[in-house]
Amino acid sequence: MERNSHGDINNGRLIKIKVAFYNADFVISSKQNEEKLIPNYLEKIELENKYPQIFSSLTVIEKSYEKKLSEDLCLHSITLLDSILNLESSLFDLKKISKKINKLQSSPEILKKFGVDKEFISALDNSRIIRNIKVAHKDLPLKFNIPFMVSTSFAYLVITFLEITICTGELIN
């Protein structure tokens, strides 16, 4: 066996071992992600200290997803969306999430900070989950059930919005 200056085995065995460990890690994390809504790497980027509201929303979204609680999943996703929008100072002062979304849609500069285009924000707005749960029909005795697939799709859209915002690096470092 031949050793290099660092004392590593240089006949290719070390490289094969590193590749094997990398592949094993990839397979394990892929299997873990199959059963989760929140990707593992979001838990590892230390949001807990810098952005506790976002971290706590991600935690309760995952719990709601595991328990298949559609309404909770929607409500916590709305909270996460509001926390993400509050990262931009010009949106922070607006009280209603619908006003934040409207301002975001009308401002190319703000859209650029989040790294999304108008169509993505329209998808969030057009879901009507925000309007139906947070604003309208609060005092009606009839309760609307939200299918789990709809609430999961909405949550996934909000999580994707967070991921894109993180990738731009302008609002979350």
DSSP letter assigned to residue 88: S
pLDDT tens string 57-86: 999 999 999 999 988 998 899 999 999 999
At residue 16, the pLDDT reads 60
pTM of the model: 0.74
Asked whether the predicted pLDDT for residue 130 surpasses 70, the reply is no
> d(Cα 38, Cα 62) in Å, to the nearest integer?
6
Q: Any idea of the CA torsion for 98, 72, 45, 113, to the nearest 10 degrees?
A: -10
At residue 29, the pLDDT reads 61
Domain ranges of the chain: 1-35, 38-168
Angle of helix 52-67 relative to helix 148-168, nearest 10 degrees, comes to 150
Asked whether the predicted pLDDT for residue 39 surpasses 50, the reply is yes
Identify which has the larger pLDDT, 59 or 136: 59
At residue 17, the pLDDT reads 65
Identify which has the larger pLDDT, 92 or 142: 92
> d(Cα 87, Cα 50) in Å, to the nearest integer?
12
Q: Count CA within 13 A, CB hemisphere, residue 118.
A: 7
At residue 108, the pLDDT reads 92
| Structural fold of domain 38-168 | Four Helix Bundle (Hemerythrin (Met), subunit A) (1.20.120)
At residue 45, the pLDDT reads 79
> d(Cα 8, Cα 14) in Å, to the nearest integer?
7
User: SS3 breakdown of the chain: % helix, strand, coil, rounded to 5?
Assistant: 70, 0, 30
Q: Give the helix/strand (H/E) hosting 105.
A: helix 97-106
Identify which has the larger pLDDT, 173 or 100: 100
Angstrom CA distances, 86 to 39, 48, 104, stand at 22, 16, 11
| Average pLDDT estimate for 15-28 | 64
Q: Of all residues in the chain, what percent carry a pLDDT higher than 90?
A: 35
| Average pLDDT estimate for 41-48 | 79
Asked whether the predicted pLDDT for residue 43 surpasses 50, the reply is yes
pLDDT classification of 22: cutoffs 50, 70, 90: low
